[in-house]
Structure 1
Amino acid sequence: MKKILTTTFILLLASPALFSQEKWDLKKCVAYALENNIDIKQSRIQEKLSELTYKQSKDGRWPTLSFSTGFGEQFGRSIDPTTNQFTTNAISQASAGLQSGVTLFNFFSIKNNIDANRINLSAAEKQTEKLQNDIALNVAAAYLQALLTNEQANIAQVQLSQTSEQLNMTRKRVDAGDLPELNAVMLESQLATDSSNFLVTKSQYELNLLSLKALLNLPAEYPFAIATPNISEIPVVPIAELNPNDVYGSAANINPLLKVSQLKLEAAKKNTLVARGQMYPSLSAFGNLNSGYSSALKNYYTGTTSTVFLPSALYVDNNGTRLPVYSPSITYSEIQKASLPRQFNNNFQQSIGLSLSVPIFNGNQLRTNWNRAKQNERSMQLQTQADSLSLKQSIHQAYQNVISALQTKNSREKAVIAAQRSYDLGRKRYEIGMLPTLDLTVLQGNLQRAKIDAVTADFDYVFKLKVLEFYKENSIKL
């Protein structure tokens, strides 16, 4: 039994050296999480989508321009599109055109839509900022939890070492006949308990590291170890600077959650104006350029005619000479070949105009959209109020948590001092044979629990200070 416990103890002490590696401090953990966390990457994609929507709505102010063309074959009885005559011949036809249009006035629906999309983009950016802050706070919590279990493991390791020393000392006295065998057996049992406690805390530490890896989006098998600074070295804002009313006054101006709600409310107001503007007439301008070709048109008349003059049966006397009288009898129209370029030139059409669209009745859809937008605006007003109240309540609750944690921290520090004094006195009495082994193990267990409780209170106090600090400065000091 003694050999097994001694071997286990040596391996436990040697294990940190066997697996030493690069240490990650809190600053590195937070920076890595902000760069690689999947939720943040998804939020940035939503930002990009909002940006594209905003850019597209801005570009919608400009005139549209499109080009269309087509080529086809007609069979059977049909109408030649260039002559509007019926034909039964197969016809090859082609067309081309440019179309353009622009909205001149629609009661500012386009402008308000652009404003709404711009505000939604800002809200998406603030949403990403909020998520980054939440991730940073979660990483800090997981990091501090890992530090806590590491400190608890260190305490358990010291306890294990002390018990081992006591067992060695007691074994020598038992062998010398100064103490009964029962004393050594009781310490061996205590050593086994201390070994189990140490293994449990080390296992919990590894589990906490796995949780931290998950927040950092690191593979579970990735070699990972955190730096273990003293709890007093972690920077915190003094509690005197964290009055809840002052914290709320600062948070109300910079807290991303409130900013998101306020921006969404502004966007909802703009969308209400958009829906209202769509119920009124809109004025647009348009222009078109078109032309076409048909294979049925082989030739076409140019519009120019030539007249042939032929002699008639009438004559006139010109100093004894009879001269025939010519009269126009045949008129010829000039004809040219109808090639594709010539047809496109001759069939060229242009048009411009204004278009007025007046919504009269469409199943009350536009008015319903306006009423729906107004209700959404009202909902966002209530959401903004709810977020403000929730933030104030969270800050006051966080402040009370800090006060409670500070009181617990102070009381447990005093408990450690008392437990340490009791253990020191008890050990001296044990060494001279005036204290039973059982009483010593009780004192030792009390000291260990007091130390674990104290270090737990220290980390709990620091973390709750970090939460209050987060509300005030919208960031965490690393």
Structure 2
Amino acid sequence: MRKYSLLVTLLFISVFANAQEKKWTLQECINYALEHNISIKQSELDVEGAEIEKRGAIGNLLPNIQASASNSWNTGLTQNVTTGILENQTTRNFSAGATASYTIFDGLRNIRQLQQAKISKLAAQYSLQKMKDDIILYVVDAYLKVLSNKQDLDVIKSQNEITKEQLDRTKDLVEAGSLPKGDLLEIKATNADERQRIIVAENNIKISLVNLAQTLLIKDYKTFDIVNRDYEIFGTDVLDHSVYEIINKAKENRSEIKVAEANKKLAEKNVEISRGAYLPTLGAFINYNTRESGSNGIEYIETPPSQETTQIGYVESTGEAVVTQSQPQSVTRIVGPRPFVEQLWRNDGISYGFQLSVPIFNGFSIRNQVNRNKVEVRRAEYQLEQAELDLESNVYQAYLDAKGSYEAYEAAKVAAEAQELAYSYANERFDVGLTNAFDFSQSKIKYENSQREAVRAKYDYIFKLKVLELYFGVPVPDLKF
């Protein structure tokens, strides 16, 4: 039993430790955001609502079938349907019916409403795709900022390790009288400054991790962390294209343009639908109904004709008698209600026909609605034009940003390499006493700053390059990091 309890405890500790040590990759962050982001969920609801509207438009093209039934009791002074006399009584009546109607022609409005519903669903899907692209960019930007801050911390820590070595060596040289005490104080000041920058860098990492967690809607900030990975630069071929090629590709692929185009088509379809109200509406219907009553009925009974004859006159010329045989007599009597089913088939009936409605004058309401929808068409055209202008501006800005960040990254690499050589030279001179601690510290700071700037420029270029690739039409799953 003890072994079993120990095994369970160890298993629980292992699972808990793995949960605490989980580190998120970029793809995991993207997938999680796409699944849990509230804005994306709202856009998915818009698509679902558009699908419902589409099914409703399809339903408008189908026949309308309704059935009804009622069973009522009337109590009090009412006319006896059998005798025709007012009596205090309770009567029961049942009726049932079914009606089928179908719109044959309504100015093509039902068909155009179905077309409109299909366009509306496409617009919702385009909006959802744009929302997903935007969220992915937010996640990538926040993720790369965390990596940049982590590598910034690594640079400072690595430089601080060198400073500590220099501090120990300088202590020995000062104690041996080879270096003045001021050099030792300068190195100590450099070490203290680097320790302060380490604290700031660690805080920047925490802040960027919190920002990423908030973007993902993750509330466990304390244990949230990402995989430490040095991303390389891929897909630079997009910069070989001219900005106008990228703009044209963006107009073909970007969701914001497709949404604006769909909205324009929706506005045009509204004009067609409103114009349909000018035309007549023709419908067909068929109705079946029956009834049953719990009241007594009247039964007519005919008596058989008698064999007796009655003289009604005579022939004047001959004096012959004219006689007639008695006719059958009809006798009525009150009987109980017929069986329920028998009454239903005896009392049923069918009605059918067509119904035509022709609009003649309605206070200009149809004309005003058509004109209002025409105004919305022009508004949608302006919005499409504005969307194209905004896209051109954004693509041009992204192109310049990517070009500029590439040049900045290349310059930062060259500067870092130059500062590394300068630092190595300064380090050699300091070791042999040819330069003082202040000059050495300044060279070291410049080298550290050049490394940090190279890291920042690298991740800035990666992000801006991916933005440009999205505008060029590269699908999100195909983006390389």
- TM-score bin (small chain): 0.7 to 0.9
How big is each residue's C-alpha offset from its partner over 1:137-164, in whole Å with a ceiling of 9 and x where there is no partner? 2221112111111111111111211111
How far did residue 354 of structure 1 move? 0.8
Partner of 1:213: 213
Measured in 1, the distance between the counterparts of 2:84 and 2:288 equals 20
- Equivalent in the alignment of 1:66: 66
Deviations 1:51-96 (A, max 9, x none): 1110111121111111111222223345789999976533222221
Q: For residues 170 and 284 of structure 1, do their structure 2 counterparts lie closer, same or farther at Cα, with a shift above 3 Å needed?
A: same
Structure 1 residues 79 and 384: CA distance shift in structure 2, 3 A: farther
SS in 1 for 2:124: helix
User: Conserved in 1, the CA contact under 8 Å of 2:82 and 2:297?
Assistant: no
Alignment deviations for residues 232-279 of structure 1 (CA, whole Å, 9 cap, x no partner): x24223254332111122222221111111122222212211111023
The secondary structure found in structure 2 opposite 1:90 is strand
What is the alpha-carbon distance in structure 2 between the residues aligned to residue 279 and residue 170 of structure 1?
A: 97
The residue number in structure 1 matching 2:228 is: 228
Residue 267 (structure 1) aligns with? 266
1:195-221, Cα deviation, whole Å (9 max, x unpaired):
121121122112212222223333334
Give how far 1:377 is off: 1.7
Distance 1:20 1:153, change over 3 A: farther
Gaps of 5+ in 1: 1-17, 316-323
Q: CA deviation at 1:104?
A: 0.6
CA distance in 1, matches of 2:35, 2:19: 27
Whether the 8 Å CA contact 1:133–1:474 is kept in 2: the answer is no
Counterpart of 1:276? 275
For 2:248, the aligned partner's letter is: G
Partner of 2:248: 249
1:309 aligned to 306, 309, 312, which one? Answer: 306
User: Do the aligned residues in 2 keep the contact of 1:82 with 1:294 (CA within 8 Å)?
Assistant: no
**Pair 1:365-2:365 in alignment:** yes
- 1:12-23 equivalence runs, <5 A: 21-23=21-23
Deviations 1:19-52 (A, max 9, x none): 9944433233223322332222221121111111
Indicate the residue corresponding to 1:131 in structure 2: 131
TM-score normalised by structure 1 residue count: 0.86
- Give the unaligned 5+ runs of structure 2: 1-17, 313-322
Residue in 2 aligned with 1:15? none
Work out the CA distance in 1 between the residues paired with 2:76 and 2:44: 59
RMSD between superposed Cα atoms in Å: 2.9
The answer as to whether partners of 1:306 and 1:333 remain within 8 angstroms in 2 is no
What's the offset of the Cα at 1:373?
Answer: 1.7
Q: Relative to 1, partners in 2 of residues 1:72 and 1:335: Cα closer, same or farther, differing over 3 Å? A: closer
- In the other structure, the counterpart of 1:427 is 427
Comparing 425-434 and 328-337, the one that deviates more: 328-337
The one-letter code matched in structure 2 to 1:405 is S
Structure 2 residue aligned with 1:385: 385
How far apart in 2 are the matches of 1:245 and 1:100? 59
Within 5 Å, which residues of 2 pair with 1:70-469? Answer: 70-77=70-77, 88-221=88-221, 223-231=223-231, 233-295=232-294, 297-301=295-299, 305-309=302-306, 311=308, 327-328=326-327, 330-333=329-332, 337-339=336-338, 340-469=340-469
Q: Answer yes or no: is the 8 Å Cα contact 1:98–1:290 preserved in 2.
A: yes
Q: Is the 8 A contact 1:311 1:327 kept in 2?
A: yes
For residue 65 of structure 1, give the secondary structure of its aligned residue in structure 2. strand
Q: Residue type of the partner of 1:438?
A: F
Indicate the larger mover: 180-189 or 64-73: 180-189
Q: How far off its partner does 1:404 sit? A: 1.6
CA shift in 2, pair 1:468/1:54, >3 Å: same
Q: Which amino acid aligns with 2:389?
A: L
TM-aligned CA distance change 1:357 to 1:402, over 3 Å? same
Secondary structure at 2:194 match in 1? helix
Give the 3-state SS of the residue equivalent to 1:277 in structure 2.
Answer: helix
- Separation in structure 1 between the aligned mates of residue 161 and residue 112 of structure 2, nearest angstrom: 73
Tell me the equivalent position of 1:9.
none
Q: Distance in 2 between matches of 1:237 and 1:333?
A: 105
The answer on whether the counterparts of 1:67 and 1:97 sit within 8 Å (CA) in structure 2 is yes
Say which SS state the counterpart of residue 309 (structure 1) adopts: coil
Identical amino acids, percent of aligned pairs = 26
Q: 1:444 to 1:72 in 2, by over 3 A?
A: same
Residue identity in the other structure for 1:215:
T
Instruction: Answer with 366-375 or 52-61: which moved more.
Output: 366-375
Distance 2:426 2:364 in 1: 89
8 Å contact 2:82–2:334 — kept in the other structure?
no
Q: Structure 1, residues 382-417: CA drift from partner, whole Å, max 9, x if none? A: 111111121112111111112222222232223223
Shift of 1:102: 0.7
SS in 1 for 2:351: strand
Other-structure match for 2:10? none
Q: Distance in 2 between matches of 1:20 and 1:426?
A: 44
Q: Deviations over 1:107-143 (max 9, x none)?
A: 1111000000011111111111111111222221112
Looking at structure 2, the residues matched to 421 and 428 of structure 1 have their Cα atoms a distance apart, in angstroms, of 11
Higher mean displacement: 405-414 or 385-394 = 405-414
Aligned residue identity for 1:364: F
SS class of match (2:286):
strand
Amino acid at match of 2:404: S
Aligned to 2:14: none
Query: Hey, what's the Cα distance between the residues in 2 that align with 1:79 and 1:33?
Result: 75
Q: Secondary structure at the match of 1:225?
A: coil
Q: Do 1:100 and 1:286's aligned partners in 2 also have CA atoms closer than 8 Å?
A: yes
Residues in 1 aligned to 2:46 and 2:469: alpha-carbon distance in whole angstroms: 29
Q: How far did 1:300 drift?
A: 3.6
CA distance in 1, matches of 2:365, 2:376: 16
Matched residue type, 2:306: F
Paired with 1:117 and 1:460, the residues of 2 have a C-alpha distance of: 42
The number of aligned residues is: 450
Shift of 1:298: 0.6
- CA distance in 1 between partners of 2:193 and 2:298 (Å): 111
Relative to structure 1, is the Cα distance of residues 19 and 286 closer, same or farther in structure 2, using a 3 angstrom cutoff? closer
Residue type at the aligned position of 1:271: N
